Amino acid sequence: MTYLMQHRADIAQCLDQRPELETPESDFMVALVDLLATCAEGENKSIESKNQSIYRVGEVLNVLTDPGISAHNKRPYARFLLWVYLNTASGLI
């Protein structure tokens, strides 16, 4: 997580990709969001805070409500929303 935050500028272009495009970069981004959601499953406030600084809840909801994005690509975002914003260590939304 620390490495990701230190090198965010290097991967910002990938993180800003729209997941509806079938490119290697968007595949990487979907896998990265899935990894971030997995990291947040432990309900660690520090990890949750870092994840919240990477994607705001509005950005996650935009992906989840976009009809042009496949359900397969939405699944990691749903997990991210659950573990980073809904099921948190602090219990707050």
28-75 pLDDT per residue, tens = 888 989 999 998 888 788 888 888 888 889 989 999 999 988 898 899
* Top-confidence residue, 1 or 30: 30
pLDDT for residue 28? 83
Closest residue by Cα to residue 41 from 73, 86, 92, 6: 86
Top-ranked range on mean pLDDT: pick from 5-14, 65-74, 83-92: 65-74
Which range, of 6-15, 41-50, 72-81, averages the lowest pLDDT? 6-15
Whole-angstrom Cα distance, residue 5 to residue 63?
22
Whole-angstrom Cα distance, residue 28 to residue 8?
14
Closest residue by Cα to residue 1 from 42, 41, 35: 35
Answer whether residue 19 shows pLDDT above 80: no
